[in-house]
């Protein structure tokens, strides 16, 4: 898999695109998106639409809790859990390490 197409990379790209409109150019994977006002309530709804369009998942009403949208890592965990896959540990833009 191309690391630039990983779940975390796609989520980070969405968050950074949304944050740039607010003047934010960097966001760490663990940074609180809601507390730091990187993503607001409208942003959460846009993120949900993005996630459902980008990944083969449906975000249920019961998934719409702040804990699932606190950080890039928590959103990645939600998506991976919905898809039933383990998270990738490859940083965005880095080639995956292939076991010999």
Region 64-70 average pLDDT? 95
Q: What angle do CA 52, 24, 75 make, to 5 degrees?
A: 30
Local structure of residue 92 (DSSP, 8 states): T
Question: How far is residue 12 CA from its own chain's centroid?
Answer: 5
Task: Give the pair of three-digit tokens for residue 92.
Answer: 């965005």
pTM attached to this predicted model:
0.83
| Residue 33 near residue 76 (C-beta atoms within 8 A) | no
Q: Is 100 contained in some domain?
A: no
Structural domain count, the chain: 1
**CA–CA separation, 16 and 27 (whole Å):** 7
The CATH number that applies at residue 31 is 1.10.1200.10
Q: Which domain range does residue 28 map to?
A: 3-83
Looking at residue 4, its pLDDT comes to 44
Query: What's the pLDDT tens digit per position in 14-66?
Result: 999 999 998 999 999 999 999 999 999 999 999 999 999 999 999 999 999 99
């Amino acid at each position: 898999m191309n690391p630039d197409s990983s779940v975390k990379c796609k989520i980070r790209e969405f968050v950074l695109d949304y944050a740039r409109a607010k003047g934010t150019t960097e966001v760490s994977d663990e940074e609180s998106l809601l507390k730091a006002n990187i993503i607001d309530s409208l942003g959460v709804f846009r993120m949900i639409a993005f996630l459902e369009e980008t990944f083969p998942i449906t975000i249920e009403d019961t998934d719409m809790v702040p804990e699932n949208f606190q950080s890039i890592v928590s959103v990645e965990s939600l998506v991976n859990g919905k898809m039933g896959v383990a998270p990738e540990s490859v940083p965005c833009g880095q080639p995956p390490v292939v076991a010999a």
